[in-house]
Amino acid sequence: MTVRTRADLESLPSYVPGRSLPGAIKLASNEVSLGPLPSVVTAIAEAAARINRYPDSGAAELTAALARKLDVAEDQVTVGCGSVTLCQQLIQATCAEGDEVLFPWRSFEAYPIVTQVVGAAQTRVPLTAGHALDVDAMIAAVTPKTRLVFVCTPNNPTGTALTRSELERFLAAVPEDTLVVIDEAYREFVSNPEVPDGVAVAKEQWARGRDNVAVLRTFSKAYGLAGLRVGYLVAPAPVIDVVRKVFIPFGVNALAQVAALASLAAEDELLARCREIVAERGRVRAELVEAGYEVPESEANFVWLPLGERAMEFNEHCLAQKVVVRAFAGDGVRITITTPDENDVFLAAARSFPR
């Protein structure tokens, strides 16, 4: 190849999606197995007749609906092609050459990828021995070069979440010119009252004059729209303004906007599904612990098995049982919580794994 390209991209890790295997139960991507509600499917079908037209590039109707739901101004919300695209836009809007992005590790797999794509440096802060975000270590890792911090809570892939006191202590310690992004992709599955609503915390910080707190959420998980790619950012208006400057026009397609609006209208029914998943999460974790596994308390729609060097062996064992999980070599395995029947198949596979 004679075309000159960026040499640093040779070291760029590839994003590894959860595998699919014909005839197997897929518990690898934190999807909601039941899919979108019938009312949402109907709205998508009706909108399909209009896809010869471009979507609203600013997603004004969806933005207004989210602003009403969250009790914020419309200029404090923007949407993107999944929250991962907004992660990249946030880095583009805050970082120049020599600036750093800080995040816990292991955490959302896309953080290091989008950071390197943008050209910023990255600082990874190891988790605690209990597989949680290490607040003290993250505070200590912030430097004058740190422009952006991702705080994934509940954390993907461990499921652990920060309490209000931990989150507020972290926010108080971060310089006001460093943007803290609370990534709440799994907020709808939180059951521990000690784990705060990130948007509520952000609004409290704004009221105190601290405009360096933002929140990411998505329609991919609880709302069952992973295939349509729509997420949203809640932040002070100046942050929203610069993020919109680096967006790709028409990035959120017309069907995604319609589906998200229909999902908001059916939110009570969707959240009832989330409560069912939370109950199953408790059952699955209890049975895994009884079987002798270490399983951190999860506030997401998955559980984490810190199997270390045996992670890939466990992965292959599950595949042989027609169960697809998400393994992270040398670290552990993440298992999506779905229906009782599917969870039971996984539990049987876990119990038969040689310990």
pLDDT tens for the chain, 355 residues: list them.
Answer: 577 766 677 776 665 666 666 678 999 999 998 878 889 999 999 999 999 999 999 999 999 999 999 999 999 999 999 999 999 999 999 999 889 999 999 999 999 999 999 999 999 999 999 999 999 999 999 999 999 999 999 999 999 999 999 999 999 999 999 999 999 999 999 999 999 999 999 999 999 999 999 999 999 999 999 999 999 999 999 999 999 999 989 999 999 999 999 999 998 998 999 999 999 999 999 999 999 999 999 999 999 999 999 999 999 999 999 999 999 999 999 999 999 999 999 999 999 999 8
Is the distance from CB of 187 to CB of 198 less than 8 angstroms?
yes
Sequence-separated (6 or more) residues with CB below 8 Å from residue 182: 151, 153, 167, 198, 201, 202, 213, 214, 215, 216
Best CA proximity match to 215, nearest among 322, 349, 83, 21: 83
pLDDT of residue 34: 82
- State how far the Cα of 52 lies from the Cα of 188, in Å rounded to an integer: 34
pLDDT of residue 134: 98
CA 201 to chain CA mean position, Å: 18
Sequence-separated (6 or more) residues with CB below 8 Å from residue 6: none
Best CA proximity match to 303, nearest among 252, 70, 314: 314
φ/ψ of 126, rounded to 5, equals -60, 150
> By three-state DSSP, how is residue 95 classified?
coil
Q: How far apart are the first and last CA of the chain?
A: 49
Model pTM? 0.95
Give just the sign of the alpha carbon dihedral 328, 332, 336, 342.
positive
